[in-house]
Structure 1
Amino acid sequence: MFTVEEAKLSDIESLIDLLTLLFSQEAEFAPARDIQKRGLQTILEDKKIGTIFVLKDKQKIIGMVSLLWTISTALGGRVAFLEDMVVDTAWRGRGGGHILVEHAIAYAKKLTCKRITLLTDTDNLAAHRFYQQFGFQTSVMQPMRLILNDQ
């Protein structure tokens, strides 16, 4: 039986392991434990930045998803970025990912978020199909990035 909880600072090592798995699969990112630890601590120490949820089987953390907050002037209110959605490979295909995303959506609705945005690799068609099940749609907006420093 899966459960979803808010992550705690004591969960960081397990979260870093999951991010290592995720960033090993993504084209644009690479695992770096110290950097991921710094980012996770920043989120977990300030609820104004976002919320991280963990998926557990009994007491073992097997997945995670982050919601990060900002304000949309176009929509006149809070919006969320869904980030770092990952389930351990040994636990995929059992419905845990659905539970995590459904929980994140419900939480964002509870906080009256007007929109949730996420990014996937353009060639990750499995992820596209997964998110479309929840109502996510492809946007005509093109993401662009300016990297300001290496680390």
Structure 2
Amino acid sequence: MTDTAAHPLQPAIRRATLDDLPEVVRLFSLPDEGNTKREDPGPPLPACYAEALERIADDPHNALLVADLEGRIVGAFHLTIIQYVAYMGGRVAMIENVIVEPELRSRGVGEVMMRWAIDEARRRGCFRVQLTTNKVRKRAHQFYERLGFTKSHEGMKLSL
């Protein structure tokens, strides 16, 4: 048996394109611990996904990013830069919808994605990076804590 942790993968992180959407939506639709998304990966892929990506691409403070491993999409996440008036006009980077192909978890893909996001937050002058993660995703919590994230706030949501 090969020790996959000894051979971390090094995907390239880049903005998602329309061609990436079927694979990104497939990843978001996978059954996963705490996944409450109800995505429709098609085929055909519903137009709402391309419309959303176009709106994201038009906003310089938003990005849907993918982890591309030799032409294969193996992960994705959404990065939003929030401009505050508080914190002396500071900026915060918000990471959402982090997903890694299940059979490639614990191979370094998530770490490459998060380190890229942290570096991008620094580049954009952010004073903090924050994320939310479902309370039932214990392995994800351990992963984020290993990267230096702390459980500092209690999140709340209101479904509309």
TM score, norm. by length of structure 1: 0.83
Q: 3-state SS of the aligned residue for 2:127?
A: coil
Distance 1:125 1:39 in 2: 30
Whether 1:30 aligns to 2:30 is: no
Aligned-residue RMSD, C-alpha: 2.1
The match for 1:93 among 103, 106, 109 is 106
C-alpha contact (below 8 Å) 1:50/1:66 kept by paired residues = yes
Q: 3-state SS of the aligned residue for 1:84?
A: strand
Distance 1:4 1:41 in 2: 19
Q: 3-state SS of the aligned residue for 1:138?
A: coil
Structure with higher Rg: it is 2
Distance 1:119 1:128 in 2: 10
In structure 1, what residue type is equivalent to 2:58? Answer: D
- Cα distance per residue 1:9-29 (max 9 Å; x no partner): 2211111111112xx325362
How many residues are matched? 144
> Which ranges in structure 1 are unaligned for 5 or more consecutive residues?
none
Offset of 1:30 from its aligned partner? 2.4
In structure 1, what residue type is equivalent to 2:109? Answer: G
> Which ranges in structure 2 are unaligned for 5 or more consecutive residues?
1-9, 41-45
Distance 1:12 1:96 in 2: 19
Task: Give the equivalent residue in structure 2 for 1:102.
Answer: 115
Question: Moved runs in structure 1, 4+ residues, more than 3 A?
Answer: 38-41
Task: Give the equivalent residue in structure 2 for 1:20.
Answer: 29
Offset of 1:58 from its aligned partner? 0.6
Whether 1:7 aligns to 2:34 is: no
C-alpha contact (below 8 Å) 2:27/2:100 kept by paired residues = yes
TM score, norm. by length of structure 2: 0.79
- Cα distance per residue 1:82-114 (max 9 Å; x no partner): 011111012222111111111111011101112
Task: Give the equivalent residue in structure 1 for 2:65.
Answer: 53
